[in-house]
Structure 1
């Protein structure tokens, strides 16, 4: 191309013609190479998405880097008690979010505080449709995965919504529109001998000096596009994918229509193309040639200013729509990876929590043992041997409520509940730095429950081995007093314990206090568990057998204890 143009400069017109042809061929090859490279990246991303789903079947999902640990709130113990965030958590299993806004929105959705009924039902409707469209979910997640992890658009949105001074004057300047035409015409006339090369050269040099005069201002205007070429192309494709999808649910159609009304796909296409052109200007050879002949940077600054005036105000809304789609895709994971699932039924009236064949999401479906639940206002004292499944049962109930509030399906044949504020005391730790023992830490949890109960707001209270950090006499006395204050007409209170004395607890206000238990059985001299909830109090203990299993006691010593 260079030699052809040189020949044209020496007076061989055919050289100029071939120079143009070589330039066009080079541009086509670059475009083709970029297209193929993008297809390869998309295929790699699709493969990674499919692999992530396979990991959810064999337990490797616990190695996912995105576990939401940074989203955990210190004043919300339910998040650690129910494994909402952190290693082997609900967030780690579910998350398909790639952007920082999507991650935060998903974290906010996994809440122990019930949101409005309409919000839950709207998300349920959208998630249910996405579960029926697995290929669409794969494409969207694969495209989203091409964005940088925790991609944050906050700074970009703020820059785009702030129009730099002077940009409107550049956008409306006639100089940048007509002067390049004059320069090009002078070069053509010089090439055909109708004008001296000196005159054409002077005009060209003047135009380059003009470009340099505007250079600093242009760079300030174009600064938000400095490193966003790849990301903008991905957003463009994502918006077009959503715009063109065949949705039937009200929620997804509403999101889709908001993108269509603003022309999100077309606007992002223009911005992505503009960013490509700005990126080309970072090549020194192109920068000199394009600004010398076309006032390239001035044209891009003007185009960007016009785009800002027409579309920048909608970009924040479009980005938020994608972050909501990331949440919906994440919640749909339950339906894509489980054969038994249902959308919770939201009921009104007195506190209620009902489930049929409910199992925890975080336990492999083939290994999980399903259980039923049928709780109303009052208390249930849950007894049972060590390792029999009491704590897992509490977590399954409360974590399923968290999924229900997010709008996700739960792992059950049937699940219904009234909106309940979830309070837990399961994984209680001491804090030596603050001088707080395990017992006192649990007291603080119970105090929080008692104080909240005075609001008379519906509550689901899950307490595992109540007051386990103190001696048996104080534990029983303290537990009875605490439970009398937590057995209210607006509370479902579930308590596990090894103290059978609590099984005879009487309600101070005629609310039911029931008992259920988990137990072990023995086979070939070994302890076994069926992990099934049974009515009534437990009649067995297994501490001596667990001591033998741990190698602390011999068989003879175990028999003597018996």
Structure 2
């Protein structure tokens, strides 16, 4: 199989050629249409001036028919051009992602940032430079939400994650199908809004329009009125009062339903979303899948009569098209003669009665597929990464050559956190890699629980509730200092550690840094001991070397690891390699000197 970059480049070049050829065809068609219109108009005028009226009328008719046909053909080609452009842009975006240019992608998931979430902010899951911005290809509202949930919700059970892994593997193998599926979601001029209103609308139906007498009247009255109208114009036996009376009765019926217009206009408002859902569902239904999760999703795409979701959504899309011309002036006449609004309401309520309650499940299925497609990018682009082994017994994390997924040149380290030594104390100088290691472990756990591969040669873990306390800042609106905010986060972790049915994994970075060194040391020591006693697992980074005593005091239930720096050509260097034991080096004074502060020449005040 070709490398991801070569596949992307090959497909991008293919769609670029098709776009160029199609653009040339469209331009030629535009020229032909103009020439044909001018020639037809000229001929019609010429025949009219030469008193050949029949030829003039024929020429006008042929010109108009041909011109309309060319306009329709032109619009069809423009739609195909838009679709090809989306496919081209999809592969272009994939190449940018491989090249590390993904931070320029517009959708960073900024709206999903939540300061109260136990770990998403500290692990860069949402916002500029986030995991979401790196992999997200979802275009529908529910698709973005589904990916957000996969990245930020706690794992439920191993079997569910394993099924998702198989689905992601299969999605990754189907590159062309996946790109077309995502292009279908982008075939709209506007960003798809929340489907909540549409789903609530579909769940409730008005049974009045489905009553037999209403159906008979709605069908019979227009037929009778139109029949009287034909008889009035075709014969002299029928008075104009008959069709007029019919029209008056039907106008009165239309005026009685005040809420009808709101219902019909609501359907039209969802028109673009409905058509996008139809295309996406149809593409999914036509594809055969082997993964159990994907097959289960496919089985759910049937209504209670066994009809496919795409077929039912297509019916709704057609109804939306029928309602589209309600604002047209000519529609008033048609509406009165045919009771068009009533006919549409009958069709809509009938659709809602049969399929309305299934709409939520169908939209959720689309969202889940978009989330899986986004996660499958990791597997396709990084085929050397491995799927984690999820274990139910002997809780812990064992990783070999683990790196940070968002760093292009991440240094990989081995890591082992097991029951007999469940807490790692990481020491080291400034900028040596302590915080990055904590985030590396956390973000790889997030990927593991989402069903995606992780950046490691091998990775084994159990299911944990993740909690972090790394980036804490003031909240002026709530009048909360950074130190108090940190205490609130730590309180959250302590409470969770006391919950019997929870397995906690915590990541603490320089805790209690907002207070004096003596209190910081004492507080950190008490907290780490308490978390260890509760059976929680995690990692703590610190500059406080005295905390290294905890390894001996805890009989190695708490273990010491460190990073170190070295100096070369009068420059500070880091190898970012994790080593056992407590740190023995410091670099703060060197960094202060680099800032231009004369440390050696400091005098007394």
TM-score by length of 1: 0.85
Asked whether 1:544 is paired with 2:583, we answer no
What is the aligned counterpart of 2:487 among 443, 457, 471? 443
SS in 2 for 1:174: helix
The answer for the alignment partner of 1:12 in structure 2 is none
Worse overlay, 380-389 or 514-523: 514-523
Asked whether 1:129 is paired with 2:170, we answer yes
The answer for the alignment partner of 1:80 in structure 2 is 121
RMSD: 3.6
Aligned pairs (5 A) from 1:42-441: 42-111=83-152, 113-147=154-188, 148-164=190-206, 166-169=208-211, 172-178=214-220, 195-196=234-235, 199=238, 208-209=247-248, 211-216=250-255, 217=257, 218-260=260-302, 261-285=306-330, 287-288=331-332, 290-291=334-335, 294-364=338-408, 367-377=409-419, 378-431=422-475, 436-441=480-485
Structure 1 residues not aligned, in runs of 5+: 1-14
Q: Structure 1 24/206 Cα, relative in aligned 2: closer, same or farther at 3 Å?
A: farther
The answer for the alignment partner of 2:539 in structure 1 is 494
The answer for the alignment partner of 1:530 in structure 2 is 575
Whether the aligned pair in 2 keeps the contact of 1:164 and 1:221 (CA below 8 Å) is: no
Worse overlay, 490-499 or 507-516: 507-516
**What is the rounded CA distance, in whole Å, between the counterparts of 1:178 and 1:45 in structure 2?**
48
**What is the rounded CA distance, in whole Å, between the counterparts of 1:171 and 1:391 in structure 2?**
72
1:254 CA drift (Å)? 1.0
1:32 CA drift (Å)? 4.1
**What is the rounded CA distance, in whole Å, between the counterparts of 1:434 and 1:551 in structure 2?**
37
Q: Structure 1 198/99 Cα, relative in aligned 2: closer, same or farther at 3 Å?
A: farther
Q: Structure 1 479/313 Cα, relative in aligned 2: closer, same or farther at 3 Å?
A: closer
SS in 1 for 2:120: helix
**What is the rounded CA distance, in whole Å, between the counterparts of 2:272 and 2:152 in structure 1?**
34
Whether the aligned pair in 2 keeps the contact of 1:476 and 1:502 (CA below 8 Å) is: yes
1:182 CA drift (Å)? 5.8
Structure 2 residues not aligned, in runs of 5+: 1-55
Worse overlay, 292-301 or 132-141: 292-301
The answer for the alignment partner of 1:463 in structure 2 is 508
SS in 2 for 1:527: strand
**What is the rounded CA distance, in whole Å, between the counterparts of 1:208 and 1:235 in structure 2?**
39
Worse overlay, 94-103 or 422-431: 94-103
Whether the aligned pair in 1 keeps the contact of 2:250 and 2:337 (CA below 8 Å) is: no
Q: Structure 1 58/211 Cα, relative in aligned 2: closer, same or farther at 3 Å?
A: farther
Q: Structure 1 163/318 Cα, relative in aligned 2: closer, same or farther at 3 Å?
A: same
TM-score by length of 2: 0.80
The answer for the alignment partner of 2:51 in structure 1 is none
**What is the rounded CA distance, in whole Å, between the counterparts of 1:19 and 1:251 in structure 2?**
59
Aligned pairs (5 A) from 1:32-47: 32=73, 34-47=75-88
Whether the aligned pair in 2 keeps the contact of 1:171 and 1:303 (CA below 8 Å) is: no
1:234 CA drift (Å)? 1.3
**What is the rounded CA distance, in whole Å, between the counterparts of 1:213 and 1:55 in structure 2?**
61
Q: Structure 1 471/233 Cα, relative in aligned 2: closer, same or farther at 3 Å?
A: same
1:16 CA drift (Å)? 13
Deviations 1:56-76 (A, max 9, x none): 234443343433333333432
**What is the rounded CA distance, in whole Å, between the counterparts of 1:320 and 1:113 in structure 2?**
19
**What is the rounded CA distance, in whole Å, between the counterparts of 1:132 and 1:297 in structure 2?**
48
Q: Structure 1 181/440 Cα, relative in aligned 2: closer, same or farther at 3 Å?
A: closer
Whether the aligned pair in 2 keeps the contact of 1:464 and 1:495 (CA below 8 Å) is: yes
Q: Structure 1 443/183 Cα, relative in aligned 2: closer, same or farther at 3 Å?
A: closer
1:302 CA drift (Å)? 2.5
SS in 1 for 2:324: helix
Q: Structure 1 451/170 Cα, relative in aligned 2: closer, same or farther at 3 Å?
A: same
Whether the aligned pair in 1 keeps the contact of 2:250 and 2:336 (CA below 8 Å) is: yes
**What is the rounded CA distance, in whole Å, between the counterparts of 1:206 and 1:151 in structure 2?**
45
1:382 CA drift (Å)? 1.0
Q: Structure 1 449/178 Cα, relative in aligned 2: closer, same or farther at 3 Å?
A: closer
Whether the aligned pair in 2 keeps the contact of 1:357 and 1:372 (CA below 8 Å) is: yes
SS in 1 for 2:322: helix
SS in 2 for 1:311: helix
What is the aligned counterpart of 2:558 among 513, 520, 528? 513
1:255 CA drift (Å)? 0.7
1:509 CA drift (Å)? 5.6
SS in 1 for 2:288: coil
**What is the rounded CA distance, in whole Å, between the counterparts of 2:440 and 2:130 in structure 1?**
12
Whether the aligned pair in 1 keeps the contact of 2:114 and 2:121 (CA below 8 Å) is: no
1:543 CA drift (Å)? 1.9
1:542 CA drift (Å)? 1.7
**What is the rounded CA distance, in whole Å, between the counterparts of 2:155 and 2:378 in structure 1?**
20
Whether the aligned pair in 1 keeps the contact of 2:118 and 2:466 (CA below 8 Å) is: no
1:157 CA drift (Å)? 1.6
The answer for the alignment partner of 1:5 in structure 2 is none
SS in 1 for 2:399: strand
Whether the aligned pair in 2 keeps the contact of 1:167 and 1:221 (CA below 8 Å) is: no
